[in-house]
Chain A
């Protein structure tokens, strides 16, 4: 038995070997946490690829992307041309693993900053560890309201959050009414886990504030195989705008069910996610013409900066950049710009530089009004576009002053 304890001790010790990796001379080490396996593996892998593209933009000379800070010239000029080195981990969508891996990135890998983490649950636990150790954590894509606002001083969030989406939809409705579209009431259809619930609540709250009647709020399970009851409920209430907060398979199922029940509301508005999934358009382009979608990402015209970034991403992954990964890419570039400005890899200096961040819209690849953090670390200039399905791709249609494309109202659907 005594011998076995030595074996046990050896086993415990065995796990330490993986930790120590020699640090390159003057590279800046940034840890990235995404769910690379599990339910959200596809999204996590896409986000990781997007961050790798961002690293390429910073580390190598990209004069063609001249508006983007750090694209021109190689490396970080503020640190004598230092390159960024990524340390990627898989948190498996598990909050406890996210906590543990953040700890490892900070104490073993000695990263100078962190970016992550897709699932809000994982972002919540990972940022808490970064806060304890005083390492800046830039949240790229997790939208739960309470990630910022917990009194943390090391958490910064570039992405717009649920409340911003609610406000954006209401200003769109106000603009559309001004333009003569009739929107008497809206309906909210949401999948019933954290994403759908939090966004639906934010929209409902914003609608109440803007005095827009919500004719129906219908939560459902994203794994449903039949949604005709929900569609019939919509048909009965006759809302002028139906907002879907859905994942992929269910979004497609709704479009098909609406056709089979011969119902098209004047307008369908998807809240990103399912409507942005690469498989959505091929599946429903013949029956959901004119459907709108939220996205802060617009590929843009050939030759534009966003178009070129999309080409880089496409060369790497074989598909277009989506909104979620785009937000991570933007978060990473924001962090890199701050580190460069800090001129140091000291966490406190990076934190100070992040606080002083003030990026203008033309310096961004996403459609935010800029990047500027408030006292809680939330980007107050985060915003979103609305896009509309025309033919087999989305076109930017709102804000009206940002585009020449005309909003088609009501939507054609399959007709």
Chain B
């Protein structure tokens, strides 16, 4: 029975992968490919958040700080040194790892809401500081290469290369997460989430677990930020470090199901097309209906299904399709 379930899950993932692989070939319009790219980007950031926010249960509302660093550094090396933005990606990861240690050491002494508040405050602080820092373009922001000097600038006319690059990153991230959740470290994270005191009494190195989870999560969030900046070709304090950046990661992961492998992806698959569709249909009139619909769905979910859609699936799907309490 157990094996039958596993193979069904594997088939499900394969089918999903196939859908993603052929999507841009089926939908050739640049706009639909762009939605695909944004969906993948949202899935990457939410999945990255999910490592520390979902599996380890440390609800960070300040992941924008990692996203922002990831977005700024590539454009900074381009603006000040003339390097291709791509070279900034590893530098950003190093910066973010250091940042996550600096932020994690003191804030992980806090629990629950206090941790969330602390991360939120740090992210806002960084946003304000960057907004007055001339080297980072201050409040005006930084631009990428307007006209590509070569393929290495990753400034493409077509959305297609972005799509497959983003898809590759998402696949890597999900593979890493899958490996991590099956490892000893994965069990540590879930133990911490279930109860820090209990975990500690069983010999789980709580603070180290939380810190490693944050570092891993931050590194991938930084990559998401870099991808965003390279694709958009522009970042300012609001689009890099803004609170909406942090909140979107959280909402997407929570919508799909935080602490599950597929949850953030499902959240992105639902929320990004929804955002785009509501803005496309109702945005032009300027009535703000976009946000009303968007907010309404979130309220409904929070009220009736706080565990996310994965939980809903596990409750109502026919038994033979269910994947167990911890969906892969």
Residues of A that sit less than 8 Å from B by CB:
1-5, 8-9, 11-12, 14-19, 36-37, 41, 44-45, 48, 87-90, 92, 94-97, 99-101, 103-104, 106-108, 120-121, 124-125, 128, 131-132, 144, 146, 150-152, 192-194, 196-198, 219
Contact = CB atoms under 8 A, between A and B. Distances in A.
B114 interface: no
Contacts of A196: 139
Nearest to A198: B140
Contacts of B270: 11
B135 interface: no
Contacts of A97: 279
Given A1-B9, A100-B35, 11 more contacts: A12-B19, A15-B35, A16-B27, A96-B38, A100-B31, A120-B140, A124-B143, A124-B233, A151-B147, A152-B146, A192-B132
Contacts of A48: 286
Interface in B36-77: 36, 38-39
Contacts of B183: none
A194 B141 contact: yes
Contact of A4 (B12, B141, B232): B12
Contacts of B15: 1-2, 5
Shortest 8 CB-CB contacts between residues of A and residues of B: A1-B12, A36-B286, A90-B283, A15-B273, A88-B284, A150-B146, A193-B139, A5-B15
B277 A18 contact: yes
Nearest to B159: A103
Interface string B272-302: 0110110111011110101100000000000
Contact of A125 (B16, B233, B273, B291): B233
B152 interface: no
Nearest to A100: B34
Contact of B16 (A8, A11, A96): A8
Given A121-B236, A151-B147, A3 B141 contact: no
Contact of A89 (B19, B273, B284, B288): B284
Interface string B1-42: 000000011011101100100010001011110111011000
B16 A5 contact: yes
Interface of B: 8-9, 11-13, 15-16, 19, 23, 27, 29-32, 34-36, 38-39, 131-132, 138-141, 143, 146-147, 157, 228, 232-236, 238-239, 266, 269-270, 273-274, 276-277, 279-281, 283-286, 288, 290-291, 313, 321, 323
A194 B234 contact: no
A15 B276 contact: yes
B321 A1 contact: yes
A360 B256 CA distance: 59
A124 B234 CA distance: 8
B265 to A, nearest CB: 9
B277 A103 contact: no
Contacts of B34: 99-100, 103
Contacts of B31: 19, 100, 103-104, 107-108
15 contacts: A1-B323, A5-B19, A8-B266, A12-B23, A36-B285, A37-B286, A45-B286, A88-B285, A100-B276, A101-B283, A107-B29, A121-B238, A150-B143, A150-B146, A197-B139
A106 B159 CA distance: 14
A132 to B, nearest CB: 5
B286 A90 contact: yes
Given A36-B286, A107-B29, A151-B146, A101 B141 contact: no
B239 A95 contact: yes
B4 to A, nearest CB: 12
Find the residue from A4, A44, A48, A108 having the highest chain B CB count within 10 A.
Answer: A4
A127 B34 CA distance: 16
A41 B286 contact: yes
Contact of A90 (B12, B141, B279, B313): B279
A100 B321 CA distance: 37
Given A12-B273, A15-B273, A94 B239 contact: yes
A351 to B, nearest CB: 17
A194 B291 contact: no
A108 B30 CA distance: 9
A32 to B, nearest CB: 9
A197 B140 contact: yes
A18 B146 contact: no
Contacts of A219: 132
A14 B280 CA distance: 12
Nearest to A221: B128
B276 A194 contact: no
Nearest to A96: B232
B273 to A, nearest CB: 4
Contacts of A128: 146, 233-234
A254 to B, nearest CB: 20
B67 to A, nearest CB: 12
Contact of A18 (B139, B232, B236, B281): B281
Given A1-B11, A125-B232, A100 B284 contact: no
Contacts of B286: 36-37, 41, 44-45, 48, 88, 90
B269 A11 contact: yes
Given A96-B38, A107-B31, A125-B233, A5 B12 contact: yes
A121 B239 contact: yes
A31 B276 CA distance: 17
A104 B277 CA distance: 11
Contact of B273 (A11, A92, A131, A193): A11
Contacts of A2: 11-12, 15
A152 B290 CA distance: 32
B19 A9 contact: yes
Contacts of B35: 12, 15, 100
A288 B132 CA distance: 30
A196 B139 CA distance: 9
B146 A19 contact: no
